[in-house]
Amino acid sequence: MTDKVVVITGGSRGIGRATAIAAAARGFKVVVGYANNVAAADEVLANIEASNGKSIAVKCDVGSEADILALFKAADEFGTLGALVNNAGIVGPSIRVEDMSAERIQRMMAVNVTGSILCAREAVRRMSTRNGGKGGVIVNLSSVAAKLGSPNTYVDYAASKGAVDSFTIGLGHEVAAEGSRVAAIRPGLIDTDIHASGGEPDRAHRLAHMVPMKRVGTSEEIANAIVWLMSDDASYVTSAILDVSGGR
Ligand code: NAP
């Protein structure tokens, strides 16, 4: 058990929500970042409070540096930062690269890549022993798309997750001797709202037959891996990327 603070971006729904609840159950004080859905964030807070956990919700679009600075300021007021889950991520409608606008690609990279790196920057400023911190853990949400490339659907998203993988390896090495670990999870097809936001709510179930386990995964199955990486049970794990994908 810990009494440290964990910041979870996009903690209001899907994988982030499940991670917030699982982290609170392990004693973390949870900062639930959300983009717009106040009702969803409030539901997560109520769920955590019902189990005697502690959490706050902070509106934070990770595409905005000002929002990220405000998120970490709120976390500072809540307690000592011990972990960051870079979970917020977006997809776009399924199209080919030749039809993508610059705005779509820039937004994808701003949220999935720049946002994650800026949040990690803020976490390292607080957690690294080099900066007077007590160490901590950063878990990044990548995707099996980083390996598959997602042709004809969202190559830009896949490329953004490839960047998350490289960033995980590099930052992990950078802070390894400073009390901090960095790891990534590559989820496969997980049953969340993200598929609806890409225009195809049933996508995960439609493609489930391509998964060796022949089923989609749940947010809780990803959250379990994330809280393991955040725990001392994973104390020798850094710069590592873990597929949680039913074998895909
Ligand atoms: P989701 O169900 O769509 O939930 C997205 C969450 O992120 C919500 O809490 C949302 O907040 C928040 N969010 C959206 N845009 C944001 C922004 N610009 N800034 C900050 N927060 C933002 O997503 P999910 O499926 O749980 O995915 C979580 C992560 O796992 C993502 O990085 C995704 O790429 C990755 N992943 C998912 C799958 C999958 O099959 N589901 C597979 C591989 C990887 P609001 O509630 O306020 O909208």
pLDDT digits (tens, 9 = 90+) for 10-52: 999 999 999 999 999 999 999 999 999 999 999 999 999 999 9
The pLDDT score that the predictor gives to residue 202 is 94
Mean pLDDT along residues 191-199: 94
Residue 12 CA, closest ligand 1 atom number: 9
Residue 16 CA, closest ligand 1 atom number: 26
Give CA–CA dist 234/248, Å, rounded: 23
The pLDDT-based confidence of 53 (bands split at 50, 70, 90) is: very high
The pLDDT-based confidence of 59 (bands split at 50, 70, 90) is: very high
CA distance readout (Å), 70 to 43, 50, 58, 163, 242: 22, 27, 8, 25, 30
231 in Cβ contact with 26 (< 8 Å):
yes
Topology of domain 5-244 in CATH is Rossmann fold (3.40.50)
Give CA–CA dist 152/166, Å, rounded: 23
**Stated pTM of the model:** 0.98
Give CA–CA dist 72/58, Å, rounded: 9
Of 21, 116, 194, the one to substitute when testing ligand 1's pocket (max ligand atoms within 8 A of C-beta) is 194
Give CA–CA dist 156/35, Å, rounded: 21
* Catalytic status, residue 157: yes
C-alpha atoms less than 13 angstroms from C-alpha of 60 in its C-beta half-sphere: 32
Q: Tokens for 70? A: 């405000």
The pLDDT score that the predictor gives to residue 25 is 98
Residue 142 CA, closest ligand 1 atom number: 44
Q: Rounded to the nearest whole angstrom, what is the distance from the C-alpha of residue 13 to the centroid of ligand 1?
A: 7
The pLDDT tens digits for 141-164 are 999 999 999 999 999 999 999 999
Q: Which residues line ligand 1 (CB under 6 A)?
A: 9-10, 12-16, 33-37, 40, 60-63, 87-90, 111, 141, 143, 187, 189-190, 192-194, 197, 204
Q: Rounded to the nearest whole angstrom, what is the distance from the C-alpha of residue 91 to the centroid of ligand 1?
A: 9
Q: Tokens for 106? A: 């820039």
The pLDDT tens digits for 65-108 are 999 999 999 999 999 999 999 999 999 999 999 999 999 999 99
146 in Cβ contact with 116 (< 8 Å):
no
